[in-house]
Amino acid sequence: MDSQIGLIIQLAGVSLITLLTLFLRRSINVIALKHWTNAWLFLSFALFCLRLAFSYQQYSVQLFSFYFLTEYAFGFLLVAGCRSLTGNGDMRWRHEVFILPFIIVAFGLPFIADDFNLVFNIHSLILSGFLGIAAVSLWRTKLGTFGWRVMLLALSLLVVNFVHYFAIFTIRQYVDVEFGYLSYNSVIDLTLQILLGFGMVIVLLEQVLNDAKEANDKLKLAHQQLEQLAHVDPLTTALNRHAFHGYVNRQADGKQIVSGCVGFFDIDDLKTVNDAFGHAVGDIVIRAVVRGIREVIRAEDLIFRWGGDEFFVIMIGLDSLAADDRMKRLENMLTGVRIEGVNELLTIRVSHAFENFDDLTSLESTIARADAGMYRQKQLRKGLSNVASPNSGRRNSSRELQLTT
């Protein structure tokens, strides 16, 4: 194939790669893509200058200088793009000064010899150096993806290709041998450049997919955290009413019959503690009670804060007698408790009652019965004999109303 025609084909192919990267920049915000797009633009301009230099001999010195310069810019930006793949960081100004010596070389090479073939070996060696550095920079990213391997292969073959040009054009200066198509072939260059461009596109898409996966993972984590905040009481980290109703609705969708017991708890004389030591101490007392309840119940049991100083637990597969027996430990744990900000040891009393349930559909009514039983125990502790007083009846009715709303 004629070298002029081959150069036109190479220019057309590189221009298509350039257009592809330009379109990708509209939707992919990756620093490497910015560098690589500019690199392909420079390479397209370099090939265009080379084509003009062969046609307009009177301007060949200037056009060859621009060809060399823009090819070095291609190599420099190729390296910058590979280096930016880790961390997505841009170049700093001190890195940009490395191109200055090659600007001098680019404008000096055409004056070394009148024949382009006599300086192309030097140019090939410099360009192979850029490609080699790009390959090493890409290797250090350790991406290990398919696109990464394709790019690494393309860069390695391009290094071999331009080292081959260096050897061939150097030998031609000293040995009068015709190497035929091995001396220079634009189609081979274009094939390797297309392979490089293909690898770049795959790497960028892999980066986008990876970023999307990371963003999706962050959204899932944020959703879980928000869901936890919506279901957890911030003071005690016990579950709240919203979590309870969600639990009931989820269990209602199931077919299996679940039995167990519900325990209702209320801290005695918390108002007295608040009045004597302040609400901050009262909050500490509430947290201490929740910690105590957690220690005596099982890991699979659920504890809910119903409001204020009232809590209830759902214990699946455990009857009320066994659950009530566990609560004996709670009184010992809450006797002589040291509270920060209080000089004396406090004894915290908690009234409680347990009721059995045979089905989760009756859970709310069971909670109401446990609440009423807890209230009777509280009244007995205060020495009241009439546990079925009109006030107590009104209180239980009010509780049942709250449970159903």
Q: Is the pLDDT of residue 49 over 90?
A: yes
Written as six digits, the tokens of 202 are 């795959």
Which H or E run contains 170?
helix 146-174
What is the percentage of the chain residues whose pLDDT exceeds 70? 88
- Which has more pLDDT, 241 or 262? 262
Among residues 73, 25, 79, 43, the alpha carbon closest in space to that of 201 is found at 25
At 205, which amino acid appears? L
Where are the extended beta strands (E) located within 310-384?
A: 310-316, 350-357
Average pLDDT over residues 173-192: 70
What is the percentage of the chain residues whose pLDDT exceeds 90? 40
Give the Cα separation of 92 and 198 in Å (integer).
28
Give the Cα separation of 122 and 116 in Å (integer).
11
End-to-end CA distance of the chain: 86
Q: Is the pLDDT of residue 402 over 60?
A: no
Q: Is the dihedral of CA 178, 181, 186, 191 positive or negative?
A: negative
Domain layout of the chain by residue ranges: 3-222, 241-404
Q: Is the pLDDT of residue 75 over 90?
A: yes
Give the Cα separation of 378 and 129 in Å (integer).
86
Report pLDDT for 384. Answer: 53
CATH topology of domain 3-222: Rhopdopsin 7-helix transmembrane proteins (1.20.1070)
DSSP type of residue 90: P
At 47, which amino acid appears? L
Q: Is the pLDDT of residue 26 over 90?
A: no
Beta-carbon contacts of 163 under 8 Å, excluding residues fewer than 6 positions away, are 124, 125, 128
Report pLDDT for 343. Answer: 84
Give the Cα separation of 359 and 380 in Å (integer).
30
* pLDDT band (50, 70, 90) for residue 80: very high
73: left (phi over 0), alpha (psi -120 to 50) or beta: alpha
Mean pLDDT of the chain: 84
Write out pLDDT tens, residues 150-171. 999 999 999 999 998 998 888 8
Written as six digits, the tokens of 144 are 């290990």
> By 3-state DSSP, what share of the chain in percent is helix, strand and coil, each rounded to 5?
70, 10, 20
Beta-carbon contacts of 26 under 8 Å, excluding residues fewer than 6 positions away, are none
- Which has more pLDDT, 185 or 372? 372
Name the CATH superfamily, with its identifier, for domain 241-404: Reverse transcriptase/Diguanylate cyclase domain (3.30.70.270)
Q: Is the pLDDT of residue 387 over 50?
A: no
* pLDDT band (50, 70, 90) for residue 264: very high
Report pLDDT for 45. Answer: 96
Q: Is the pLDDT of residue 317 over 70?
A: yes
Report pLDDT for 156. Answer: 96
Ranges 113-122, 177-186, 218-227: which has the least confidence: 177-186
Which stretches within 232-277 are classed as H helix? 241-253, 270-277
